Amino acid sequence: MRDNATGTITLSQPSLSGPVVVTMLNGSTFANVPATVTIPQGVASQSFVITTPNIPIPFKTAICSIYAMYGSSSASAVLLVASRVIAPIMSSLTVFPTTVTIGEISRGTVTLVEAVPMPAVIALEAMDPTVGPGGPLPLPGSKSSIASVPASITIPPGQTVGIFNITTHGIVSPGTHHFVKIVAGGIPLMYAALTVNA
């Protein structure tokens, strides 16, 4: 299902010498406008329909610029197109500091592209990669033995940032470095690297 909007073109004064054919341009794929809008002679304004595509996945609110041109004159308007599917979309997952000594705490930050009108629950996991911090992604079940995070973080409605603690623990060999992948299970799935020194 899709929603329509209505645009209206208004002339400074009605034409007395025939209809006015206005050329329409649209700078976004999130809205569709007719190629032209005809304003009849003697009429000062004319409405037209703006259609939006049916997109079955969540997306950031789109800003659509619509332009109308006739001769040397032009006008523009902006239409905001929001996703029908309301879900939190993550823009970043970061950790700071990115290197800690065993027993210390790092903090993770989840940032959303935009706020949503309901609590945004993001699943979290700390996992051991097979090699260094730039190596392959963790395999299912490879839960970290030296780092822990909450099972999830909830970002309140209307907010875009959530912060959580990453605790480090256990016994590691002196002088060694251990790599942990912090995972945020949202849209999209995101990873951040944490180095834990002995």
Structure tokens at 182: 């912090």
For residue 161, report the phi and psi dihedrals to the nearest 5 degrees: -125, 135
What pLDDT was estimated at residue 1? Answer: 40
Total number of residues shown for the chain: 198
What pLDDT was estimated at residue 139? Answer: 52
pLDDT band at 29 (very low <50, low <70, confident <90, very high): confident
Strands (E), 71-142: 73-81, 90-96, 99-101, 105-112, 120-127
What is this structure's pTM? 0.66
In eight-state DSSP terms, residue 50 is: E
pLDDT in tens, 41-92: 999 999 999 998 888 888 888 899 999 999 899 999 999 998 887 788 999 9
pLDDT in tens, 93-113: 999 999 999 999 999 999 999
**Per-residue pLDDT at 130 exceeds 70:** no
Mean pLDDT of the chain: 88
Which residues sit opposite 75 in a β-bridge? 68
In eight-state DSSP terms, residue 61 is: P
The Cα–Cα gap between 38 and 45 comes to 9
Domains of the chain, with CATH numbers? 4-81 (2.60.40.10), 90-197 (2.60.40.2310)
What pLDDT was estimated at residue 186? Answer: 83
CA-wise closest residue to 65 among 79, 85, 45: 79
In this structure, are strands 120-127 and 152-155 parallel, antiparallel, or unpaired? antiparallel
Dihedral sign computed on CA atoms, order 140, 134, 96, 191: negative
pLDDT in tens, 136-159: 555 555 788 899 999 999 999 999
CA-wise closest residue to 40 among 66, 22, 58, 54: 22
What pLDDT was estimated at residue 187? Answer: 86
